[in-house]
């Protein structure tokens, strides 16, 4: 049976096929019709299939065509499952030469290619827009992402709603529209906090292996870690140690939270084993075996039998068989576990947490914590945090107020905004127990000093405020950092050197651009309420790049729903 979407696709390309499922296809168009539905059959095989299924018929009834499609689709799915079974033990690596740096080689891990391909297949297989691309089989990853569709869908899987589907080019793609999709994917991945420095749409289009894998890992990682917080899992409060508060939990990285989670369940399992890393500690699969048994729902059939298996690789295989009972055999093979592959084991544990956290929400009789205590990250805070991470700062910013309190991330941002302005000899990067607090406050005082050099408005803000995580004052500094970065980019674009444009200069440019293109919209300032309809922004985009906006999709902007749609 063909779906409604498939019949619509056929109807758009072949007028002899109706959307209701009646009609026929000319014999010469059957191969093209299959390709539109995602099945590419070579010519020699097509001739055999035509003779076998249709004899000498010149017009192929839609029902008969549907039966052929179902047969080929089932064969394809069977091949994909067989390939997935074969890849359970795939490992190895190969070298590629850098196209951007001479004498530089990059190591590409086959197990990462396989793991990321399987994740895409498992999570996006039901998406009708990807029928012609999925499943991604071994060796196909770099070609299957070249039109940008898979990456865009993966971004929306990681952070739902990031990309409006109307902005994705989906049909009759050519080189230009594929590159547009890849640009959309890159800008959107940056918006959710991926570091895309030194990656462009051409790199993705050419399938530059180390850059593709690096971007896919960042997107998948963000998606896996997106649920590891108190808002999505209030039961995380059970991981607090004596004397700790919720702020202490917020300061932990997702990796640290996952380690605490594993150790919480190990303690409840009564084993002395504890997890300290995602490499050497898990190679014998014992920790995983205890964890799976502890988090498994009643009746799932998960056992501790892998503990009796000899050899790390056979034991890992037995452990993964137990994980499969929980529908959690993702990312790792037995070899990956026994070899201690950091990325893939981290992803494996994060996926276990997301599916089976086994951390009960606080009960009414539990003192010291309630769901009301959980403060959701604001859109403003998330925007700033994602911007910092997209700049490639180290360490990764997980909680704005905790991760800025030693000043190190702030100095990296200053150095990006105006290279060379930070005197790094004045910055303390290694903090000792006795002087740690004083050194961090000293760093923050220097950060405020540098802000004043950039003419930031920092009246009443001291280093101690940043160290203390004062939300209002920290946001005031961070907002000016992000604004200075944006203006520095504009200054480079206009070749104005160190002279940063003022708000009035940008507003004037906007209005000149709109007027030159014959638009009737304009703005008075960045607070102009007309901006909220989205129409002036769409007009500006059309002025910069004519015909890129489909004005048939633009609404009046009268209601909040219409404004959001335009935005």
- What whole-number percentage of the chain has pLDDT above 70? 93
pLDDT value, residue 84: 47
More reliable by pLDDT, 346 or 495: 346
Distance CA 361, CA 63 (A): 52
Cβ contact 176:148 at 8 Å: no
pLDDT value, residue 371: 58
pLDDT of 557 > 90? The answer is: yes
More reliable by pLDDT, 171 or 83: 171
Which residue, chain included where needed, has tokens 């994060």?
350
pLDDT of 496 > 70? The answer is: no
pLDDT of 85 > 60? The answer is: no
Cβ contact 88:332 at 8 Å: no
How does pLDDT run across 105-131, given as a tens digit for each residue? 888 889 999 999 999 999 999 999 999
Q: What is the DSSP string of 115-173?
A: HHHHHHHHHHTT-GGGTTT-S--TT-HHHHTTTSHHHHHHHHHHSTTSS-GGGS--SS-
Which residue, chain included where needed, has tokens 């790792």?
332
Angle (CA) 422-424-427 rounded to 5° is 105
> For 523, phi and psi rounded to 5 degrees?
-130, 150
pLDDT value, residue 373: 64
Distance CA 133, CA 39 (A): 9
Encoding tokens for residue 283? 């190679």
How does pLDDT run across 506-523, given as a tens digit for each residue? 999 999 999 999 999 999
pLDDT of 208 > 50? The answer is: yes
pLDDT value, residue 498: 62
Encoding tokens for residue 548? 């890129």
More reliable by pLDDT, 3 or 84: 3
Distance CA 313, CA 308 (A): 13
pLDDT band at 434 (very low <50, low <70, confident <90, very high): confident
**Which of 101-105, 163-167, 192-196, 197-201 is predicted with the least confidence, judged by mean pLDDT?**
101-105
Torsion (CA) 213, 216, 217, 223 in degrees, nearest 10: -170
What is the set of domains in the chain, with CATH numbers? 4-89 (1.10.238.10), 106-226 (1.10.418.10), 234-364 (1.10.418.10), 384-494 (1.10.418.10), 503-566 (1.10.418.10)
pLDDT of 89 > 50? The answer is: no
pLDDT of 258 > 70? The answer is: yes
pLDDT of 387 > 70? The answer is: yes
Q: How far apart are the first and last CA of the chain?
A: 38
pTM: 0.79
């Amino acid at each position: 049976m063909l779906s409604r979407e498939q019949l619509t696709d056929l109807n758009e390309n072949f007028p002899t096929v109706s959307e209701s499922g009646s009609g026929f296809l000319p014999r010469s168009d059957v191969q093209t019709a299959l390709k539109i539905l995602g099945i590419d059959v070579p010519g020699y095989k097509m001739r055999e299939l035509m003779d076998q299924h249709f004899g000498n018929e010149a017009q192929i009834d839609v029902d008969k065509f549907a039966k052929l499609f179902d047969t080929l689709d089932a064969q394809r799915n069977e091949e994909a499952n067989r390939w997935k079974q074969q890849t359970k033990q795939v490992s190895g690596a190969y070298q590629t030469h850098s196209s951007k740096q001479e004498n530089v080689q990059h190591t590409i891990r086959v197990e990462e290619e396989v793991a990321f391909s399987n994740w895409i297949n498992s999570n996006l297989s039901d998406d009708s827009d990807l029928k012609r691309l999925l499943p991604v089989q071994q060796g196909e990853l770099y070609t299957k992402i070249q039109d940008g569709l898979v990456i865009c869908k993966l971004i929306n899987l990681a952070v739902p709603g990031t990309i409006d589907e109307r902005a994705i080019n989906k049909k009759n793609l050519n080189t230009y529209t594929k590159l547009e999709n890849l640009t959309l994917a890159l800008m959107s991945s940056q918006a959710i906090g991926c570091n895309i420095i030194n990656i462009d749409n051409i790199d993705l289009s050419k399938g530059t292996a180390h850059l593709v894998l690096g971007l896919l890992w960042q997107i998948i990682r963000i998606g896996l870690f997106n649920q590891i917080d108190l808002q999505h899992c209030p039961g995380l409060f059970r991981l607090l140690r004596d004397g700790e508060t919720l702020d202490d939990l917020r300061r932990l990285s997702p990796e640290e939270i996952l380690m605490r989670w594993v150790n919480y369940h190990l303690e409840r399992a009564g084993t002395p084993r504890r997890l300290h890393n995602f490499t050497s500690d898990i190679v014998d699969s014992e920790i995983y075996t205890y964890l799976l048994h502890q988090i498994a729902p009643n009746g799932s059939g998960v056992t501790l039998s892998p503990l009796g298996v000899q050899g790390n690789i056979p034991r890992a295989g037995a452990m993964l068989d137990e994980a499969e009972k929980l529908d959690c055999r993702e990312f790792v093979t037995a070899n990956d576990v026994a070899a201690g592959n950091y990325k893939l084991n981290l992803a494996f544990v994060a996926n276990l947490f997301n599916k089976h956290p086994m951390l009960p929400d606080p009960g009414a009789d539990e003192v010291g914590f309630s769901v009301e205590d959980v403060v959701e990250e604001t859109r403003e805070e998330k925007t700033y945090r994602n911007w910092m991470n997209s700049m490639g700062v180290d360490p990764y910013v997980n909680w704005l107020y905790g991760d800025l309190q030693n000043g190190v991330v702030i100095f990296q941002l200053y150095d990006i905004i105006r290279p060379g302005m930070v005197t790094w000899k004045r910055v303390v990067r290694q903090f000792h127990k006795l002087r740690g607090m004083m050194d961090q406050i000293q760093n923050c005082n220097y950060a405020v000093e540098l802000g004043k050099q950039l003419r930031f408005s920092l009246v009443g803000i001291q280093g101690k405020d940043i160290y203390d995580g004062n939300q209002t004052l920290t946001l005031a500094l961070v907002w000016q950092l992000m604004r200075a970065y944006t203006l520095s980019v504009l200054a480079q674009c206009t070749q104005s050197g160190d002279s940063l444009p003022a708000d009035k200069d940008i507003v004037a440019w906007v209005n000149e651009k709109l007027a030159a293109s014959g638009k009737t919209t304009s703005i008075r300032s960045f607070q102009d309420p007309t901006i909220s309809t989205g129409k002036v922004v769409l007009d500006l985009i059309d002025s910069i790049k004519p015909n890129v906006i489909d004005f048939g999709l633009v609404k009046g902007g009268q209601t909040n729903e219409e404004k959001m749609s335009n935005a």
